Amino acid sequence: MTKPAQPLTDIAEALALGETTSRQLVETALALAARDRRAFSDLYAEAALVAADEADARRRNGAPKSKLDGIPVTVKDNMDLAGEVTRAGSKVLETQPAATRDATVVQRLRQTGAVILGRTFMPELALASIGTSLHHAAPPNALDNARVPGGSSSGAAISVGRGIVPAAVGTDTGGSVTLPAAVNGLVGYKPTARLLPRDGVVPLSRHLDTVGVISRSVSSCRLLAGAMSDRERADWLARPSLPVEELRFCVPTNYVLADLDPKVAEAFDLALSLLRQAGIQVEQITLPELDRIPQIYEGGGFAMPEIAAWLGRRGLLDREDDYDPRMMNRIREGAQISAVAMLDSLALREELVTSARQRLAGWDGMLMPTTPIVAPRFSEVQEDADYRRLNMRLMRNSRVANILDLCAVSLPIPAGDPTLGLGLLVAAPAWADPALLEACARIEAIFGQADPGEAAISALPARALCGSL
- What residues have CB less than 8 Å from 389, skipping those under 6 apart? none
Measured over the CA atoms of residue 125, residue 197, residue 187 and residue 4, the dihedral's sign is positive
pTM, two decimals, is: 0.95
CB atoms within 10 A of CB 194: 11
> Residue 452: which of 422, 419, 417, 414 has the closest Cα?
414
- What residues have CB less than 8 Å from 457, skipping those under 6 apart? none
> Residue 14: which of 71, 62, 54, 53 has the closest Cα?
71
CA 443, CA 135: separation in Å to the nearest integer? 40
- What residues have CB less than 8 Å from 317, skipping those under 6 apart? 308, 311, 331, 335
CA 49, CA 30: separation in Å to the nearest integer? 9
**DSSP code string of 83-149:** TS---TT-SGGGGSPPPSS--HHHHHHHHHT-EEEEEE--SGGG--SS---SSSPPPPPSS-TTB--
Residues involved in catalysis? 76, 152, 176
> Residue 384: which of 66, 79, 153, 130 has the closest Cα?
130
Q: Residues 76-102, buried b or exposed e (16+ Cβ, 10 A)?
A: bbbbbbeebebbbbbbbbeeeeebeeb
CA 151, CA 168: separation in Å to the nearest integer? 13
Distances in Å between the Cα of 307 and the Cα atoms of 165, 357, 446 are 31, 28, 41
pLDDT (tens place) for every residue of the chain, 469 residues total: 455 678 999 999 999 999 999 999 999 999 999 999 999 999 999 999 999 999 999 999 999 999 999 999 999 999 999 999 999 999 999 999 999 999 999 999 999 999 999 999 999 999 999 999 998 999 999 999 999 999 999 999 999 999 999 999 999 999 999 999 999 999 999 999 999 999 999 999 999 999 999 999 999 999 999 999 876 654 664 466 666 668 999 999 999 999 999 999 999 999 999 999 999 999 999 999 999 999 998 867 889 999 999 999 999 999 999 999 999 999 999 999 999 999 999 999 999 999 999 999 999 999 999 999 999 999 999 999 999 999 999 999 999 999 999 999 999 999 989 999 999 999 999 999 989 999 999 999 999 987 655 555 455 444 444 443 3
Q: Note whether 191 and 214 are within 8 A (CB).
A: no
Q: Note whether 148 and 138 are within 8 A (CB).
A: yes
CB atoms within 10 A of CB 252: 22
CB atoms within 10 A of CB 449: 11
Residue 5's pLDDT is 73
Report the run of H or E that residue 283 belongs to, with start and end.
Answer: strand 281-285
CATH of 8-467, one of 1.10.10.10, 3.40.50.1820, 3.90.1300.10, 3.30.1780.10: 3.90.1300.10
Q: Three-state secondary structure along 405-431? A: CEEEEEEECCCCCCCCCCEEEEEEECC
Residue 145's pLDDT is 98
- Residue 339, burial from CB neighbour count under 10 angstroms (0-12, 13-18, 19+): exposed
- 167-172 sheet: strands from edge to edge: 40-43, 115-120, 72-76, 167-172, 210-215, 187-190, 406-412, 423-429, 365-369, 248-252, 281-285
